[in-house]
Amino acid sequence: MTTPSRLALVPFVSVDTMMKLVHRKGVEPMLIELAAAIEADFRRWPSFDKTPRVASHSDVGVIELMPTSDGEMYGFKYVNGHPINMKSGLQTVTAFGLLADVATGYPLLLSEMTILTALRTAATSAMAARALAPKGATTMALIGNGAQAEFQALAFKAICGITNIRLYDIDPAATAKCARNLAGHGLTLTACKTPEEAILGAQIITTVTADKQYATILSDNMVGAGVHINAVGGDCPGKTELHRDILLRSSIFVEYPPQTRIEGEIQQLAPDHPVTELWQVLSGTAPGRTSAPQITLFDSVGFAIEDFSALRYIHAQLPGSGLGQMLDMIADPNEPRDLFGMLQRARTIAA
């Protein structure tokens, strides 16, 4: 049996490797670079295959596949969402992803994406806010202080210039955790006892809660003119965070309407309610914020192109880094038609 060829060995980024990459780069610089990579792909949005993610729902959560391709590379992410996991000490969201070469079908990268999803979600949020939020915004309310919260806070600091974060979670322990983790990162942090307190003076409101239910994290009377809402938590059928009346007063921006109308806040609205695709704003073909009193809403559910961008970014970081493990994933017989002969030859080695 021969040594696997270079094409048969696939780079693998483990959780440990991902953390090393983040710390070598720095969390905020990496968020900035991820946002740039995602924005570059949004600007060439028409070149991608697009389909709503394939979801398998249960009473306790959802498992999803998120595929896309730009004709040269193909990528997909496996991701779950199980809010009930927290009661057992497990992650609510876990993920892994793969990047492949369209020309051969061979994998180019296998990577953890639990950490990477948190990074790309935060980078996308801040990228959207940079285009939609009031200019000169300095204060953000961060409602929901779970696993994604710190990433969101640091992305808005690095990309949008936010300096003040007002924290609220239904669980005070989550807020304490978030404040502890963000200490020393150059942010002014205020722990709040109610969501109403959290939004005081905030030009940006980020909601990132986990419960899989129709919820009203923000009621209509809580949202005044001129704010930008970054709605992250509503990301599957039957799960929302905003009162419907807020949507009716807002200019709504989405990633991919066929998916967002099923999963996002706009599942509460008529199927033909007008929305603007974010890629159109970033490419200059549609307006974003047009007036000071306008309420802008980024109805974020996460889309496969963002994961593709993140995987492509990670793949580009590996050469020369000394990081990553090469996995023997692809059978590589000397003669492509002689797969069984390869198996037979291995018998003598196994013996």
Domain ranges of the chain: 6-115+305-350, 134-302
Write out pLDDT tens, residues 267-284: 999 999 999 999 999 999
**Coil, strand or helix at 332:** coil
Predicted confidence at residue 5, as pLDDT, reads 61
Question: Residues of 11-22 as b/e, b for ≥16 C-beta within 10 angstroms?
Answer: bbbeeebbebbb
pLDDT-based confidence at residue 3 (cuts at 50, 70, 90): low
Q: For residue 167, is pLDDT > 60?
A: yes
Q: For residue 209, is pLDDT > 90?
A: no
Q: The whole model's pTM is what? A: 0.94
pLDDT-based confidence at residue 212 (cuts at 50, 70, 90): low
Predicted confidence at residue 307, as pLDDT, reads 98
Instruction: Give catalytic residue positions.
Output: 235
The better pLDDT of the pair 58, 152 is held by 152
Q: For residue 178, is pLDDT > 70?
A: yes
Query: What is the percent of the chain with per-residue pLDDT over 70, rounded to a whole number?
Result: 96
Asked if 20 and 117 touch (Cβ cutoff 8 Å), the reply is no
Query: What is the percent of the chain with per-residue pLDDT over 90, rounded to a whole number?
Result: 85
Predicted confidence at residue 211, as pLDDT, reads 67
Compute the average pLDDT of residues 72-93.
92
Asked if 229 and 142 touch (Cβ cutoff 8 Å), the reply is no
Average pLDDT, the chain: 94
CATH of domain 6-115+305-350: 3.30.1780.10
Compute the average pLDDT of residues 303-309.
98
Asked if 308 and 70 touch (Cβ cutoff 8 Å), the reply is yes
DSSP alpha helices (H): ranges in the chain? Answer: 15-25, 27-42, 114-132, 149-160, 172-182, 195-198, 244-249, 257-263, 278-282, 304-317, 339-350
Q: For residue 350, is pLDDT > 70?
A: no
Predicted confidence at residue 1, as pLDDT, reads 42
Compute the average pLDDT of residues 224-243.
89
Interatomic CA distance for residues 302 and 278, integer angstroms: 12
CATH of domain 134-302: 3.40.50.720
